[in-house]
């Protein structure tokens, strides 16, 4: 990276660029200009060039960007050019849906453990992974060298389980639990608070003047 620190806004736009590059690549398009990306992403061509320039010079004037090459560069930048071992904690509706998300395998995320505290499902298999009692979490995380934990559990046990994960050396937590977790600086947290997202939607529906539109 050329800059010492990249803004959150730029980082949040990288997956969007990647998603559209995948779409146009699937259509057989070999190269694309920032103006063409602007039309399909809703962002200005200048913004796109500025964002990508934070990480290097990928395009050529008069030629644009090679779609496949830029996609590969974004994979490196976002860290999805390597595999990750993942565990899912909580196998209710959210946990089950995440396990069946096709993007996991495609992007190199391997689910090596599923955990729950419900006797009715412990011991069952889901996508060839045995659902284990949450009491076995630390053993599996340590043995499998797990990188990422997905929390799809209620708020009450979330911090306690998080503390155990941190002690086992977890590197990142994708949190669907409705709680703000306390973590050391070296463990990355990404919150997905579904109720907060829904309430943001209804706010903008009732206060359209504040809606920023396409981001």
- 62 annotated to a ligand binding site: no
Residues 147 and 49 in one domain: no
- 95 annotated to a ligand binding site: yes
pLDDT of residue 4: 56
Is the confidence at residue 213, as pLDDT, over 50? yes
Residue 28 — very low, low, confident or very high, per pLDDT cuts 50/70/90?
very high
CATH of the domain at 65: 1.10.10.10
Q: Domain count of the chain?
A: 2
pLDDT of residue 212: 79
Measured distance CA(196)–CA(184) in Å, rounded: 24
The neighbouring-strand residues paired with 116 are 133
Q: Which of 155, 118, 110, 112 is nearest to 135 (CA)?
A: 118
- 90 annotated to a ligand binding site: yes
Is the confidence at residue 14, as pLDDT, over 80? yes
Residues 66 and 124 in one domain: no
Residues 190 and 99 in one domain: yes
Residues 106 and 191 in one domain: yes
pLDDT single digits (tens) 130-164 = 999 999 999 999 999 999 999 999 999 999 999 99
Question: Is residue 114 a part of any domain in this protein?
Answer: yes
76, 95, 120: which is the final residue of a domain?
A: 76
Q: 57 lies in which domain range?
A: 8-76
Quick one: 205 exposed, middle or buried, by C-beta within 10 A (0-12, 13-18, 19+)? Answer: exposed
Measured distance CA(19)–CA(13) in Å, rounded: 10
- 94 annotated to a ligand binding site: yes
At 104, is the secondary structure helix, strand, or coil?
helix
pLDDT single digits (tens) 183-203 = 999 999 999 998 899 999 999
Question: Is residue 203 a part of any domain in this protein?
Answer: no
């Amino acid at each position: 990276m050329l800059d010492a620190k990249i803004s959150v806004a730029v980082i949040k736009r990288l997956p969007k660029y990647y998603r559209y590059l995948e779409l146009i690549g699937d259509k057989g398009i070999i190269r694309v200009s920032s103006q063409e990306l602007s039309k399909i992403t809703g962002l200005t061509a200048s913004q796109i060039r500025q964002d990508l320039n934070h990480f290097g010079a990928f395009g050529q004037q008069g030629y644009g960007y090679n779609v496949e090459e830029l996609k590969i560069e974004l994979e490196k930048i976002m860290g999805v050019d390597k595999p990750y071992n993942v565990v899912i904690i909580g196998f209710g509706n959210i946990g089950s849906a995440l396990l069946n998300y096709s993007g996991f395998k495609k992007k190199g995320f391997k689910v090596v453990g599923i955990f729950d505290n419900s006797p009715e499902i412990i011991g069952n298999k889901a996508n060839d992974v045995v659902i284990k009692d949450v009491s076995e979490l630390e053993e599996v995380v340590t043995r499998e060298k797990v990188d990422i934990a997905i929390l799809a559990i209620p708020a009450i046990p979330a911090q306690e389980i998080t503390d155990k994960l941190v002690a086992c050396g977890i590197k990142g937590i994708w949190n669907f639990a409705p709680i703000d977790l306390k973590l050391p600086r070296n463990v990355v947290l990404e919150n997905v608070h579904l109720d907060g997202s829904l309430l943001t939607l209804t706010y903008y529906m009732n206060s359209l003047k504040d809606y920023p539109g396409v981001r």
